[in-house]
Amino acid sequence: MSPNACLDDLPIEIIASILKVCDYRTVLRFSSTNTRYREIVGGSSSLQLLIELEINGLEILKKGVDSSDESLLKELRRCLLVRRSLNYLAPQAYRVAESWRPGIKIYNYMIHGDHYFGLYDELDIEDPDDLNFTSLLIVDLSRREYEEPVYLSFETRFRSFDADLTQELVVLTEARSGDPTLSRFHFCSTIDGKPHPLARHALISIQLEDPGFDELIPSPVLDIQTEISGKVLIIGYHWSDLAFGIFELLIFDWVSGALLGRIRSEAAISRAFTLLDNQHLALLSATRSNNSPHPDMVVLMIYQIPCIALPDQDEGGSFNASSYPSLAPILVLHFPPIQDSLVFRGSTTGFILRTNPGVGQAMFGGPSIFVCARVPVFEIRMSFHNFQSETHNFSYQIYISTYHIFELLARREPGQETFSWNEWGPRATRWFDYTGNRSPLMGTQCVRWIGSGSYHKLSTIEFNPRPLEGPPVQTEMFGSNVKSVFHAGFKEPVESCLPYRITCPENASTMRKCRRWDIQGHRLIGYLSRNNMLRSPAILICDSPPT
């Protein structure tokens, strides 16, 4: 090759192929170099698709028949535009779940993605061990009228469940009220309710270490949180009605039945976790500093997900958690210290961390399925009050961009690294007072509603926003130069400057008033007030417009 050769001498196809192995920020920097490079990137559907997928933390799980990069790009951009602009069809009242099969009572339900899940008990009895359910109703919200919902009856009673329909998997949690250190998990198929064919053990049993229970509470409630991502099942445990803050977290490969890792935390409060991608897990904790009678230090700890099973695995799917060592975090991110007179609220809503969708879960279904590969933004809520005066309450909703966290992970040295709030927090976060009128995150955005008589005016809040395509719509942009500053509750002022945009579509300015709103899959969901506690409430569903 000539010593004077340069990138310009290569064919466009070769340049595009090289860029496909780069991250999207490198591709965007390349395109800004000159007009020719901008045309190369702008004219390549493959590179444009790569950029859209990475920015939104997505990957393609399944391609539609005869789909191309160009058609996939068009489909993804259409879905994102509908969501950003709330350009949904007029809301339709969806009948209560009990009307699909008379006689069943849905005691607990959720809408996740494009599906409705309802828990019920076919025997309709009160179980002494608080295992209240035997059956699960699954309704595809895209189904035609003549298509029947799925009714799954299981061979065991259970307390709660988690599901991943992309794997046809439902995990049933069995934890009896009389034994607060034992739990069982059943891996079942969403096709017929039978044991899942890929699971080596259809049932795993976990014995936790006895934390030393309070004599006044001999049988405390064991709270369990699960998260499924591909072959990984993460299980978090804590005893919410005990004064101490022991938290156990176990990481399983549910297909091979192997235990990959254990995390044991004895922080004062530690009960919120989420996967950031298939290699990293975040755990939120509050601890006591020296001489502090109450938790006053909040930290976000990042752990590496092990890929090799721990030695000395138990036989037959039974595991004793105390037999395994605890993992250490690779990154510790500090939040601002709170004032000495404040304590965290004890309820489960006073200290939460959540993402939606989770890693490996579907963002958009249809002929092509786009799933979350990396959480782009996640939400933390912290609530505390002055223990000397119950009238002084503070609640904050904090949105955190993972881009800055992954930057720190990429640059870190071997071992554990710790960063103060000022080293990572202001540029990576945006703080708000918690007002109860913002939906859970969906990807990088949430829905906000404001009451006006019998109507709600809806808008979207999007973090690290991309330019908004499509018809003109009213927007308000808050860049990194516009800081949010909070003083109440902290020893020093808290600044945050993660960019965000508020979009106020005209078509969503007079929506029927609901208890709350949410975005799931291809739909905007409104939850109406519950009139009968023994029946699941009716919901409003706003579908995406047809293509």
Which two three-digit tokens encode residue 433? 């007072």
Under a CB-based contact definition with an 8 Å cutoff, are residues 526 and 517 in contact? yes
Residue 16 belongs to some domain of the structure:
yes
Which two three-digit tokens encode residue 314? 């138990």
- For residue 525, the SS3 value is strand
Q: Which amino acid is at 470?
A: G
User: If phi over 0 gives left and psi between -120 and 50 gives alpha, with beta otherwise, what is residue 257?
Assistant: left
Cα 225 to Cα 233: distance, rounded to the nearest angstrom:
10
Residue 314 belongs to some domain of the structure:
no
Mean pLDDT of successive 10-residue stretches along the chain, which has 547 residues? 63 86 89 88 91 94 91 94 90 68 77 89 72 89 79 93 95 88 96 96 92 64 91 90 77 94 80 92 84 77 90 80 92 90 64 88 91 96 76 85 94 89 96 94 94 90 85 88 91 94 90 92 87 66 87
Under a CB-based contact definition with an 8 Å cutoff, are residues 214 and 148 in contact? no
Which two three-digit tokens encode residue 479? 């860049």
Residue 28 belongs to some domain of the structure:
yes
Domain that holds residue 4: 1-43
Residue 4 belongs to some domain of the structure:
yes
Which sign, positive or negative, has the C-alpha torsion 45, 377, 544, 369? positive
First CA to last CA across the chain, in angstroms?
49
Domain count, the chain: 1
Reported as a single tens digit per residue, the pLDDT across 288-317 is 776 666 677 889 999 999 988 877 666 789
Residue 341 belongs to some domain of the structure:
no
Residue 202 belongs to some domain of the structure:
no
Under a CB-based contact definition with an 8 Å cutoff, are residues 119 and 162 in contact? no
Which two three-digit tokens encode residue 78? 């259409």
Residue 35 belongs to some domain of the structure:
yes
Reported as a single tens digit per residue, the pLDDT across 93-149 is 776 555 566 677 787 888 898 898 988 888 777 766 677 899 999 988 887 776 788
- For residue 30, the SS3 value is helix
Cα 283 to Cα 270: distance, rounded to the nearest angstrom:
7
Cα 158 to Cα 413: distance, rounded to the nearest angstrom:
44
The reported pTM is: 0.92
Under a CB-based contact definition with an 8 Å cutoff, are residues 305 and 293 in contact? no
- 442-472 exposure pattern, b = at least 16 Cβ within 10 A, e = fewer: bbbbbbbbeeeeeebebbbbbbbbeebeeee
Which two three-digit tokens encode residue 122? 């076919």
Residue 231 belongs to some domain of the structure:
no
